[in-house]
Chains A and B, each alone.
Chain A
Amino acid sequence: MYGSLCHSPAREFGILREAMNDLFSGVSGAVHEFPPVNVYTNDNGAVAKAELPGIDLEQLELTVANSVLTLKGTRGCADLKNDVRALRSERIRGSFVRALNLPFKVDGAGVSARFDKGVLTVTLPRAESDKPRKIAIATA
């Protein structure tokens, strides 16, 4: 999933660190894809939130097709000059693709997205054609 990681040893340490965090936080079976995503739903649609601190919005692509929301992008490496030494490198970088299958068909035209404080929020309205329809029962 991480296309072009700059420092893979750091990533391995990151995985270990996450495992330790999980151990203490009591969260079991947590997913460690990047970016982490939360999805909230109701009868009329969904809101997806993703933690993408520092992402360059030019490098982020959001698409919706039927019931699938796709986040695709790159979190670049810092532009380091020759005389710069990395002492610690924990932040995840590289390219990523995440596809989320929602439990309903999305009204593509009504989708909106906002980026604030490093958190992306996508509002996904459910397509009218997908909403349950109440059927009137005629008597004979």
Chain B
Amino acid sequence: MTVTETPNAVQTAYQACCAESSTCEGAASSKKVFLPRADIYETKDTVELYADLPGVDEKSLEITLEKSVLSIRGKVVPVVPEGYKAAYVEYSEGDYERSFKLAEEIDCDDIKATIKNGVLHVSLNKAGPAQARKIEVKVS
């Protein structure tokens, strides 16, 4: 994979680790926060981002764009089936959070997001190439 050499259109801005996030939230909630796994593909005109957010749907998902930082936040209400007790646990349930810094070439006004079966798909368009402009020089 030659990811490192490519001019990354999208980069991870910060990766909040679980401990950090849960302490930041303070006493309000002791819920865990996870970093969702993501794939990013770049095509000629777009950048496609996919993230695994099992347990999250369109109602519990929040995507914000602030100063070219795209933040994804998915809330999961941990559910233990009623009348049952946990006997074997491989994963714990909690929220998902991750931020990506968008490069200047991304058109921030045209971002589409869909979530299906726990997979978020964000489609980002690259802005067209800056047009070369001729500056008229006026005679004063």
* A78 contacts B83, C-beta separation under 8 Å: no
Are B20 and A54 in contact, with the CB atoms below 8 A? Answer: no
- Whether A86 lies near B81 (C-beta < 8 A) is no
Pick the residue among A14, A17, A47, A87 that contacts B41 (CB under 8 A). A87
Judging by beta carbons under 8 Å apart, are A87 and B89 in contact? no
A61 at interface by CB-CB < 8 Å: no
Cα distance, A10 to B18, chains bound together (Å): 21
Q: A27-B92, A85-B6 are in contact. Are A119 and B84 (CB under 8 A)?
A: no
**Binary B-proximity of A15-54 (CB < 8 A = 1, otherwise 0):** 0010011001111001101001111111000110001111
Closest to A55 in B: B117
Question: Do A117 and B38 touch across chains, with their CB atoms under 8 A apart?
Answer: no
Known A46-B87, A83-B43; contact A90-B38, beta-carbon cutoff 8 A: yes
Chain B count of residues within 8 A CB distance of the other chain: 47
Main secondary structure of the interface of A (DSSP, over half): mixed
**By the criterion CB–CB under 8 Å, are B17 and A118 in contact?**
no
The chain A residue with its CB closest to the CB of B20 is: A24
Interface-central residue, A53, A85, A100, A115, by most chain B CB under 10 Å: A53
What is the total of A-B residue contacts with beta carbons within 8 Å? 143
B65 at the A/B interface (Cβ < 8 Å)? Answer: no
A91 at the interface (CB under 8 A from B): yes
Question: Bound complex: CA of A83 vs CA of B44, how far in Å?
Answer: 7
Q: Are A54 and B119 in contact (CB under 8 A)?
A: yes
Chain A residues within an 8 Å CB radius of B38: 88, 90-91
Question: Does the CB pair B117–A88 fall under 8 Å?
Answer: no
Task: List residues of chain A with CB within 8 A of the CB of B80.
Answer: 40
Query: With A14-B37, A21-B18 in contact, is A42–B85 under 8 Å at CB?
Result: yes
* Contact between B118 and A117, CB atoms less than 8 A apart: yes
Output the nearest chain B residue to A7 by Cβ-Cβ distance: B1
Q: Are B1 and A89 in contact (CB under 8 A)?
A: yes
B64 — which chain A residues lie within 8 A by C-beta?
none
A24 B17 Cβ-Cβ under 8 A: yes
Instruction: For B85, give its contact among A7, A36, A41, A90 (CB under 8 Å).
Output: A41
* A:40-95 near B, CB below 8 Å: 40-42, 46-47, 51-55, 78, 80-81, 83-92
A20 near B37 (CB under 8 angstroms)?
no
On whether A86 and B18 interact (CB within 8 A), knowing A42-B84, A54-B119, A117-B55, the answer reads no
Contact present for A86 and B118 (CB under 8 Å):
no
* A residues lining the B interface (CB < 8 Å): 7, 9-10, 14, 17, 20-21, 24-27, 30-31, 33, 36-42, 46-47, 51-55, 78, 80-81, 83-92, 100, 103, 115, 117-119, 121
